[in-house]
Amino acid sequence: MKKKIICQTVVLLLSTFFLRAQGTALKDSMAWLCGICGGSCDTLVFAKPGNCPHCGMELIHQSVAVRKELIENYNKHMTICFYLQDGVEVLDFAGPMEVFAYAGFHVFTVSRTKAPIVTQGILKIMPDYSIEDAPPADIMAFFGGNTGPSSKDSAVLSWIRKRKTSTSYFFSVCTGAFIIGKAGVLDNLTATTFHASIESLRKALPGTKVLSDTRFVDNGNVITTAGISAGIDGALHLVAKLNGEETAREVAKYMEYDKWIPGQGLVVQKK
């Protein structure tokens, strides 16, 4: 992650230099902004030079308009791995997929093998990769629907564990929490899942505090959501977290999704 942050800072500086060299008209005022680190501080504006109090990166004197364009370009290179198992719930992954795609993130699909999977016995999907050849991703996402086999598959769980240190965020919808939970991602954290599976998750993960009646739970870099449509709320929350609430609202409006209420879930405060 440190190498990635350094590379993004270099890109920011070079991009700003070339835009100025080409005589780009900067219609808004210059401001002090931190280098793009993928955190919520990417959209904050500071009145004077120094270091970002949130991520510690050195502030850059830059146009807010240029910054917005660079964040959009950065997000296009931000990758999200959607792990899909046979029998996966369609809306569990399709809703968040639309959110992240509209926000400009790069989404790819992975399954146990490259063989076609069938969602709910209806829709056939060809995964982009198997767990053997899937590239690394900034975000790994898991979804409900027939999660039993995957949550007990040692190869799948080992694959997730190996990626814990190189993945910035883990995201689950519905009973997808069982998969990442069995891989140890939810150890000593707070989580939620599909309303009918709350007690089952509590029994399966005794070291995890499982909440009911909660749209999503954000532990910082691990976000779990309730079932089906709640995944859209969780995805919008993650977009807001990474790219600002205004961007998330634009995505929700574009999707004509008027049910999203920012802050409706639980953000766990670190002690």
Confidence grade of residue 70 (pLDDT, cut at 50, 70, 90) = low
180 near 172, Cβ under 8 Å?
yes
- With H, G, I as helix, E, B as strand and everything else as coil, classify residue 197: helix
* pLDDT of 5 higher than 50: no
pLDDT tens digits along 168-184: 999 999 999 999 999 99
**Residue pLDDT, tens place only, 180-229:** 999 999 999 999 999 999 999 999 999 999 999 999 999 999 999 999 99
Q: Which of 37, 41, 52, 174 is catalytic?
A: 174
Tell me the pTM: 0.75
Token pair, residue 123, equals 């829709």
Whether 81 is catalytic: no
SS3 per residue for 215-259: CEEECCCEEEECCCCHHHHHHHHHHHHHHCHHHHHHHHHHCCCCC
Contact 201, 120 (CB under 8 A): no
